[in-house]
Amino acid sequence: MKTFGSQWKERVKNGETVLGGHIFLPNPAMAEAMVSFGYEYIWIDGEHGSFDKEEILNHIAAINGAGAGAFVRVVAGEACFIKPVAEMGPDGIIFPMICTAREARYAVEACVYPPDGKRGFGLRRANRYGLISDKEYLDSIDKALVKIVQIEHKKGVENIDDILMC
């Protein structure tokens, strides 16, 4: 399944460097402009930025529409924050402050459909409003959606080997 902003993925697979940026301001035109200036992915900071769900969705659409990958750092690695963002169709989700393998597993499971995860089925933008069949979407999204855990605490560093194994 090809996502909106998938050009950066091919470059990463080819061992090339990709240029990304970080945005914490609510106006999606700023994210779109960043792509116009050469950024290949944008990290939408839903943890520290002043975003509501609609603003995150508008940023994802603006970034993807301009041809780049959209990543969202959620408030926390909790399913209630992850699931609505996953349905918005980002290219990746970033989980902050992961300190244990259990936390990492829980966050990733919220992005993955059963039997391997706990994600519910409520597609809209994620399957391009039905343009991608449910079967094609379900067969590919668990691998296509990039999941990034952030180690930001001494406890996470102490547990890094266990976190990397999950």
Give the Cα separation of 10 and 41 in Å (integer).
13
Cβ count near 102 (within 10 Å): 13
What are the E-state strand segments in 60-151? 69-73, 92-95, 146-149
Name the pLDDT band for 8 (thresholds 50, 70, 90). Answer: confident
Residues 33-92: pLDDT tens digits?
A: 999 999 999 999 999 988 999 999 999 999 999 989 999 999 998 888 999 999 999 999
CATH architecture of 7-165: Alpha-Beta Barrel (3.20)
At 41, list the tokens: 């992915």
The confidence score (pLDDT) of residue 70 equals 96
pLDDT exceeds cutoff 80 at 126: yes
pLDDT exceeds cutoff 50 at 136: yes
Name the pLDDT band for 6 (thresholds 50, 70, 90). Answer: low
Domain limits, the chain: 7-165
At 119, list the tokens: 């994600």
Can you give the length of the chain in residues? 166
Whether the upstream peptide bond of residue 115 has omega within 30° of 0, thus cis, is: yes
44 neighbors 27 (Cβ within 8 angstroms): no
Q: Which residues of 43-80 are buried (b: 16+ CB within 10 A; e: fewer)?
A: bbbbbebebeeebbbbbbbbbbebebbbbbbbbbbebe
